[in-house]
Amino acid sequence: MVTMRWTYILALFTTLLLSGQAYAAVTAQVDRYNINVDETVNFTIEVSGDDNGEPDITPLQKAFQILSQNKSSSYSLINGSMSSKTTWFLTLRPRHAGTLIIPALQAGKKQTAAITIQVSKSAPRQTGAAPQGELWIDMKINPESVHVQQQAVLTLLIYQSVPLNQAQLSEPKSDRAMTVRLGEDKSYQLNRNGKVWTVTERRYAVFPMQHGLLKLDPVQLDGTVLSGRSYGSAFQTTRPIRVRSNALELDVEAMPADWKSNTWLPATDVQLTEDWPTGEFKVGDSITRTLTLTATGLISSQLPELSTLLPDHLKAYADKPVLTDTNTLDGVTGQRQEKLAILATRPGTFILPPIDIDWWNSKTQSVQTVSLPARTFKVLPGPVDPSQPNKVTPKAPGSADAAPVVEQQHNKPDQLAGIGWKWIALLSTLGWLITLVWLYRKSTSAPQQPPPGTDITIDRSKLKKAVSDACQQNHAKTCEQALLNFAKAQWPKERVHSLASFAKHCDAELLVEVNALELHLYGKQESTQKQTWRGSPLQSAFKKASFMTAPNASTSKNSALPTLYPE
């Protein structure tokens, strides 16, 4: 009896299932036909009946991004008839503005109808506009006009009226500027237009590398928010959201035409300090001098070298400079610290020359100078003064130590006279032989000097070409090495071992480009935000530099300082 009952139920279910096969159908629809390029559209495909094959959504990817897709199936029994329905839910984002067509899609044996939607461009945003919608970004910069390599502070204001999940914010970028994120984000609430907004504030320091109009593209924020549409589910779902900020323009002025210094430091404040040990110094003692340059509104890699020329009879050993940057919401403060171990090779009074650094006060728009006065110090003789020959103090004639010697000379005068001439002759012959050997070795080992004006000219020509080639290929690191190689040939008596020391020989135009190269190589910024260096401006400035038309110099203007050690 039980077996017959189950057989009857199975037969009935099969009959009902077969009866619904004749009602197979496929439909497609969207929730909106007019959207913005940054908005999304919900696309639904529904297959009823027995033809519930998977739809081919590949053709959608030409004009849309498929952000998400879900599938649900249901069965119902109505008036003795069994029906089935399968639904696919897709979230699409247009790839561009214009008239876009969702093409007909194949679903099993059936095909959907094509759908046309209109996608409009995002309206230009104005800085400081009132927030609208669920999510809004405003971007502003201060000041709106700066000099090249001067800091400007960019502020992003993100307004939320709904909870935001999985947020991803792009970074402000430009191929003509370097950006550094400042401090931590701030969050607070604000009531505007009758709506309570949660505001997140994020700041960046922007350092333009070239003069002219600097354009900053809008930043983009992607995330998800809760959606009121449930797609037949009892639970809330999320939907993607995207917003863009306004674009910005920054007016970047060149260095002042009358700027004469070899350093360009546009800042709001610059301080130069010295740490000098107390107490007395002796020959052979190590005297540690610490110089610290601090600039508000500059990063540490923009700061110049602080070392100065030393008087004769002083030796110096420099540590690697310590570069530090402090970021706050108000901007960057860079610091360069140099430690120099100074040793005197003889006693005396020494004078270290003063240090003067010109900088541009971006607040007052004027030139200012930060200085350290000359440092005078005295070095006493050490326990044994290596600069003085050993001297034997003669004993007094009446002393006890001298008496035996005098007595010995009087006791054996003939013996001393008999052997003296032999030693004199032997020493004279030996000295003559040593002199001959020394003259022979000197004549055979003397290097042949190249004809004047040959090797140096060829080397300088090759080194110039190496700089030009590196600039044309936009290879920043190669260009740095080429510049330093050129400097060694151009100024052979100087220690040009960094871009900062090379910059001391640059004209104003080349100085800006060398500083920009150093910022690109050593400026602190996220590797993902590292922009491509363009070498053409440096190449042009290098060709026009004053030292390119002058012969290679054996000394520089700094080496013309008089000797400071008093004879």
* Three state DSSP letters for 451-502: CCCCHHHHHHHHHHHHHHHHHHCCCHHHHHHHHHHHHHHHCCCCCCCCHHHH
| Least-confidence region, from 114-118, 129-133, 337-341 | 129-133
In a domain, 408, yes or no: no
Per-residue model confidence (pLDDT) at position 557: 41
195 vs 77, more confident: 195
> Within 13 Å of residue 543, how many CA atoms lie on the same side as its CB?
11
70, 171: one domain: no
- CB proximity list for 4: less than 8 A, separation 6 or greater: none
pLDDT band at 475 (very low <50, low <70, confident <90, very high): very high
pLDDT at 562: 35
Model pLDDT, residue 26:
83
Task: Tell me, yes or no, whether 90 and 161 share the same domain.
Answer: no
Q: Inform me whether the pLDDT recorded for 270 exceeds 80.
A: yes
- pLDDT-derived band at 6 (thresholds 50, 70, 90) equals low
Residue closest to 209 by CA, chosen among 246, 179, 249: 179
516 vs 435, higher pLDDT: 516
CATH code of the domain covering residue 179: 2.60.40.10
pTM: 0.62
Q: Is the pLDDT of residue 540 over 80?
A: yes
Contact residues for 503 (Cβ-Cβ < 8 A; gap 6+): 262, 263, 304, 511, 514, 515, 518
Range ranked top by mean pLDDT from 415-419, 523-527, 559-563: 523-527
- Please say which residue of 358, 380, 402 terminates a domain: 380
Q: How many domains would you assign to the chain?
A: 4
Segment 257-275 shows an average pLDDT of: 94
Q: Alpha-carbon Rg of the chain, whole angstroms? A: 42
Query: Residue 53 corresponds to which tokens in the numbers above?
Result: 């094959």
Q: Residue 393 above 60 pLDDT? A: no
> What's the confidence (pLDDT) of residue 112?
87
- 115 and 6 both lie in a single domain: yes
Whether 392 shows a pLDDT value over 50: the answer reads no
Q: Does 297 score more than 90 pLDDT?
A: yes
CA distances, 234 to each of 38, 47, 165, 408 (Å): 28, 21, 21, 127
Residue 409 lies in a domain: no
pLDDT band at 231 (very low <50, low <70, confident <90, very high): very low
Q: Note whether 246 and 274 are same-domain residues.
A: no
Query: Does residue 19 have a pLDDT over 70?
Result: no
What pLDDT is attached to residue 285? 87
Amino acid 228: pLDDT: 61
Whether 13 and 82 map to the same domain: the answer is yes
- 263/506 Cα distance (integer angstroms): 9
Residue 91's pLDDT band, with cuts at 50, 70 and 90, is confident
Tell which residue, 206, 129, 127, 212, has the closest CA to residue 173: 206
Q: Is residue 70 one of the residues assigned to a domain?
A: yes
pLDDT at 229: 52
Q: Is the pLDDT of residue 21 over 50?
A: no
6 and 72 assigned to the same domain: yes
Residue 236, pLDDT above cutoff 80: no
Choose among 132, 15, 26: nearest CA to 77. Answer: 15
- Cβ 240 vs Cβ 278: under 8 Å: no
Range name among 121-135, 214-228, 344-358 with the lowest pLDDT average: 121-135
Q: What is the mean pLDDT of the chain?
A: 79
Flag whether 406 is in a domain: no
pLDDT at 428: 59
Q: Which residue has the higher pLDDT, 22 or 229?
A: 229
3-state DSSP assignment of residue 567: coil
The reply to whether 90 and 27 lie within a common domain is: yes
What integer is the mean pLDDT of 415-443?
56
* Mean pLDDT of the 517-522 span: 82
Query: Given the DSSP bridges, would you call strands 152-160 and 34-36 parallel, antiparallel or unpaired?
Result: unpaired
Residue 270 falls within a domain, yes or no?
Answer: yes
Strand partners, 69: 90
pLDDT bucket at 525, cuts 50 / 70 / 90: low
Q: To the nearest whole percent, how much of the chain has pLDDT over 90?
A: 35
Which tokens belong to 81? 């008839």
What's the pLDDT at 12? 47
554 confidence band (pLDDT: 50, 70, 90): very low
**Is the pLDDT higher at 478 or at 422?**
478
When pLDDT is averaged across residues 482-495 and rounded to a whole number, the result is 88
Please compute the mean of the pLDDT values over residues 448-469 and round it to a whole number. 68
Q: Given a cut of 60, is residue 76 above it in pLDDT? A: yes
**pLDDT over 80 (residue 64):** yes
Find, among 242, 233, 227, the residue nearest to 42 by Cα: 227
| pLDDT at residue 300 is higher than 90 | yes
Report if residue 130 sits inside a domain. no
Q: What would the mean pLDDT of 321-340 be, rounded to a whole number?
A: 94
Domain boundary among 89, 120, 151: 120
CB atoms within 10 A of CB 567: 5
Q: 143 and 210 share a domain?
A: yes
Picking from 155, 245, 151, 252, the residue whose alpha carbon sits closest to that of residue 206 is 151
Could you tell me the CATH number of the domain that includes residue 288?
A: 2.60.40
pLDDT (0 to 100) of residue 524: 60
Task: Note whether 243 and 296 are same-domain residues.
Answer: no
Q: Do 246 and 146 have their domain in common?
A: yes
Closest CA to 147 of 498, 543, 511, 544: 511
Q: Are residues 139 and 29 in the same domain?
A: no
**Stretch 395-399: mean pLDDT, rounded?**
42
pLDDT band at 71 (very low <50, low <70, confident <90, very high): confident
pLDDT of 483: 94
Of the residues 68, 86, 120, the one at which a domain ends: 120
Residue 477 and residue 376 share a domain: no
Domain residues for the domain of 198 are: 135-253
In a domain, 209, yes or no: yes
Poorest-confidence range of 365-369, 449-453, 469-473?
449-453
Is residue 386 included in any domain, yes or no?
no
